[in-house]
Structure 1
Amino acid sequence: MISIASWNINSARLRMPIIARFLEQEAPDILCLQEIKCQEHQFPYKAFEELGYTHFAVHGQKGYHGVATVSRIPISEFSRHDWQDNGEARHVGVELTGPEAGALAGMVLENVYIPAGGDEPDRAINPKFGQKLDFLERMTRWADKVDRPTMIVGDFNIAPLESDVWSHKALLKVVSHTPLEVETLKRFQDAHGWTDVGREFIRDPQRYYTWWSYRNKDHTVNDRGRRLDHMWASPQLAQQATGHRIVEDARTWEKPSDHIPLITEMAS
């Protein structure tokens, strides 16, 4: 078995203590991080190496965005797509290599951070919303040509199902759950026939949240969460998924991210 985790960490350097806690507690083979918020030379490589994670693919930039995939089994950087079309560091892809990957050798793991899209769900008055939709359209054109076993994980910044949000009615006009975003994400899903691995194991309509706003001092009081983070797989690859879970306690750790980690286990 190989376990793959994904986590929008909201600053890798600031939150290295809880990353270490997570790696020691859950021990995934591969961890995909989003919003590392540092340049590549500033990434805390040594801290990861001390925890046994010695393989890296880091795509960073100063102060914002950035993604990194760290692994204790061999990986090689495979791709960097500029789906934002402005040079922002929002994607890195790796290939699993070496005998440790077993039957998953050659699998591609894409790590993505889709833009949040601002506050107003109208591209005419909010350019950030238009950029988000355009990002997804570029991803969709890419997905239509994917011809290898692939998993794409990360912060999609869209909660597509009614059970992915604390209130479908209250959030219909809120960026991340608008019908237009849901439809755009569905086109991306259909372009390759992606399987939403999380929902294969945490079935709709079960509650399934991965993000709670920092505005709520205690997120457990009203539980106003959304499922913004996803792990999707090519149809045949998805059949090798043997388990999926979230680590919701991580939202209560010291200086937490507003997102929690997701873990998928794959038969290798």
Structure 2
Amino acid sequence: MVSIATWNINSVRLRLPIVERFLKEEAPDVLCLQEIKCQEHQFPAEALAALGYEHQAVHGQKGYHGVATVSRIPLREFSRHDWQDNGEARHVGVELLGPGKGIVVENVYIPAGGDEPDRSINPKFGQKLDFLERMTRWAEKLDRPTVIVGDFNIAPLESDVWNHKQLLNVVSHTPLEVDTLQRFKDAHGWTDIGREFIRDPERYYSWWSYRAKDWKANDRGRRLDHMWASAELAQQASGHRLREDARDWEKPSDHVPLITEFKL
């Protein structure tokens, strides 16, 4: 059994106490973090190693973005793709060397895309679409068992958002983004593991805005975080869940962690 977790932590140094809490309570074999918001030398490597996560691949930058994969299983850094095409730290891939040997775990933070879903007036939206197209070209050539996890910043299904009609023109749920993500999915035949276990149309959110005073009462969530796997590997997934309660922890991220178990 190998368990893999993903979490957009929204500043790993600020939220180190809840990362430590999560690792103590859930003890996943691998944790993929997005939006670590620090350079590599600032990453709390020693604190996480003290909890048994001594194998680490960190791709950071000053103040923004950044991804890190920490593991109890030996790993080697496999790749760093610049799908943003501007040097931002938004991806790191690792190959597991212990249990699950040979599996590649890709950790990605797809751009949010700004406010207006129109690339002619909002360059950030165009960058998001281009990022996904570069990922699609990459996925077409994959020939190894792969898991890709992270903050995709797209909620593709109607049941992935609190109100489908109200969000159709809101970045993260527009038809154009959903179609672009579907092309990425088709390029490798990915399986959306979350929706294998929490079936559509069941409610399934991983993000709630900080703007809501009471996130639970409003429950205006979106499923922006995903765990996808190569088709054969996905068949070995034995469980999937999310820690929605983490949205209530002290100084929480606006995202919650997801965990998938694989029976290998």
What is the TM-score normalised by the length of structure 1?
A: 0.98
Distance 1:187 1:50 in 2: 41
Report the equivalent of 1:158: 154
Distance 2:188 2:127 in 1: 22
Distance 2:138 2:130 in 1: 13
CA RMSD of aligned residues (A): 0.4
1:232 to 228, 234, 237: 228
2:135 to 132, 139, 145: 139
Distance 2:56 2:250 in 1: 26
Report the equivalent of 1:209: 205
Give the deviation of 1:217 after TM superposition.
Answer: 1.6
2:104 to 101, 108, 116: 108
Give the deviation of 1:218 after TM superposition.
Answer: 1.3
Give the deviation of 1:191 after TM superposition.
Answer: 0.3
Distance 1:205 1:113 in 2: 25
Give the deviation of 1:246 after TM superposition.
Answer: 0.2
Give ranges in structure 1 of 5+ residues lacking alignment. none
Give the deviation of 1:91 after TM superposition.
Answer: 0.1
Give the deviation of 1:62 after TM superposition.
Answer: 0.2
Q: For residue 264 of structure 1, what is the amino acid of its counterpart?
A: T
Q: SS state of the match for residue 11, structure 2? A: coil
Give the 4+ runs in structure 1 shifted more than 2 A: none
Distance 1:2 1:14 in 2: 28
Q: SS state of the match for residue 17, structure 2? A: helix
Report the equivalent of 1:197: 193
Give the deviation of 1:215 after TM superposition.
Answer: 0.1
Report the equivalent of 2:238: 242
Q: How many residues align?
A: 264
* Deviations 1:35-85, CA, capped at 9 Å, x for gaps: 000000000001101111100000000000000000011111000000000
Q: Does 1:82 align with 2:78?
A: no
Report the equivalent of 1:3: 3
Q: Does 1:65 align with 2:82?
A: no
Report the equivalent of 1:267: 263
* Deviations 1:120-142, CA, capped at 9 Å, x for gaps: 00000000000000000000000
Give the deviation of 1:111 after TM superposition.
Answer: 0.1
Q: For residue 108 of structure 2, what is the amino acid of its counterpart?
A: V
Q: SS state of the match for residue 125, structure 2? A: helix
Q: For residue 102 of structure 2, what is the amino acid of its counterpart?
A: G
Distance 2:55 2:205 in 1: 30
Distance 2:254 2:135 in 1: 25
